[in-house]
Every structure is written in C-alpha cells, then in structure tokens.
Amino acid sequence: MPLGEIESSILLKNKPLINQHCFAILGAILRKMSNLISIAMVLIMLMPSLGTIIPVNSEKSEVEEEPWWIDTTVDRNKNGIGDMIEKHIDNPILLQDGTLPIIVDFDHTPDAEDVMILEQEVSFEHEFFLPGIDALAGRLPVSMLEKTTQIPGVVMLELDGIMSIQNGDAVVLHGVDSAWQETGYDGSGTTVAIIDTGIDGAHASLDDQDDDNSTNDPKVIA
C-alpha cells in the first residue's frame, strides 16, 4: 500500500480521537477567554470607585467653612447692622426712649463680661442671654448702633421683634360659645382632672428667661 494511503487510513481510524482532542483544546481556550472577559468587566466596574478613592491631590488642604455672618441675607450691605434695624429704626411700635430691641451676635458665646462691656461702652440694657445662638438680647440706643458693631467680638446686630398674644381667648375661634348656646351646657359645676407624666421643672425651656433667680415669676406655678 502506498505511503499516502497508509496515512489517510490512520487518520480515518483516529478521527474520533482527534476531534475530541481539538474540542478539549478549544474548550480550554474558551474558558480562559471567559475568565479574562470576567476580569475585564470587574475592572471596568471598579474604575469609577477607584477614581473616588484615590485622591487627586493629597496635599490639598480642606476649605474651611466661612462664618454665617460673612455671607448672610440679614445684612445685605455688609455694615454689621441688620437690614431690618435700618428699616424700622424710627418705628414707633419698636422705638422706646430712643432705644430699639436688639439681638447682639458674637463670634463666641457671650458672658457677663461681654454684658458689662456693652453696658459701659454703648449703654446697652441687657435682658437675656441667648447661648444657643451666641447672642445677647436687650435694648440699645439708636445712636450707638454703629459704635456697637466696632466692639471686639460683636459680628452682627439684629432687630428683636416684639411679640404679642394674638388670641388670648380661643372660645370664639373654636366655636365654643355656639356650643354653649345650642346645648345649654357651659361646664358649670363640672370638675375636670388631667393625669399626666409630669415635666422637668428645671428644663431650660421652662426658665423665666430674665436671668435673675431672685425673681418670683417661674413658668411652673403648681
């Protein structure tokens, strides 16, 4: 038998084995390609987060936040005197003996020494400490407004509004008087008791707010 025919005969007899071997090699190649594709996909998904983790410039210092009084709508002309003071500087409802109700804002929590300075320098009539907003409340002569803004530590003057009770008697508002007339019942001879868990009489919100412990005007009366 010629050599060519012998080789063809061998290939035909071993064709199944050759096919299996080729498929095995192809499968291995596909598995490796699949692994590479998976790795590439993971890297693509991680790229945005890696960009946020790695700082662009580690030496760049954080920007400090500016104090509120630097850029506030309370004082648009930046003179340290609130715009509402300038608007109501001669309002007869607020003006009293040449003074206005003023909130004096500080760059620190004010204390008794700050009160003394204001009293001596600008004739400030102190009423309340407002530690929650680093301020003092009281009355200030209109003629001393500008000078007050120049006192060290003072950052802003704001108008302190005068509050009044708009509805001292809610009977008419809630239609109670109509119920009295229609039913004939007005609560006479009836005793009402309310059981509650109680309050914290020492809470700051129940303080008389005049900063004088000797006064007899607490919020808790019973």
Q: DSSP for 179-218?
A: HHHHH----TT-----------TT-GGGS-SSS-TTSS--
Residue for token digits 């009295």?
Answer: 180
- CA dist 19 and 6 (Å) reads 20
What is the pLDDT, as a whole number, of residue 4? 47
Per-residue pLDDT band for 185 (boundaries 50, 70, 90) equals: confident
Polymer length of the chain: 222
pLDDT > 90: percent of the chain: 31
* Contact between residue 72 and residue 98 where contact means Cβ atoms under 8 Å apart: no
pLDDT tens digit sequence for 114-154: 999 999 999 999 999 998 899 999 999 999 999 999 999 99
Per-residue pLDDT band for 6 (boundaries 50, 70, 90) equals: very low
What is the pLDDT, as a whole number, of residue 10? 46
Angle between helices 3-13 and 15-53 (to 10 degrees): 60
- CA dist 134 and 130 (Å) reads 6
Per-residue pLDDT band for 3 (boundaries 50, 70, 90) equals: very low
Model confidence at 24: pLDDT above 90? no
Q: Which residues contact 61 (CB under 8 A, 6 or more apart)?
A: none
What is the pLDDT, as a whole number, of residue 80? 92
Model confidence at 181: pLDDT above 70? yes
Using DSSP, state whether 65 is helix, strand or coil.
coil
What is the pLDDT, as a whole number, of residue 101? 95
Give the chain's domains with CATH numbers: 83-159 (3.30.70.80)
Report which of residues 99 and 167 the model is more confident about: 99
pLDDT tens digit sequence for 25-75: 656 666 666 666 777 776 777 666 555 555 555 555 567 788 888 888 888
Beta-ladder partners of 103: 137, 158
What is the pLDDT, as a whole number, of residue 199? 78
* Contact between residue 145 and residue 121 where contact means Cβ atoms under 8 Å apart: no
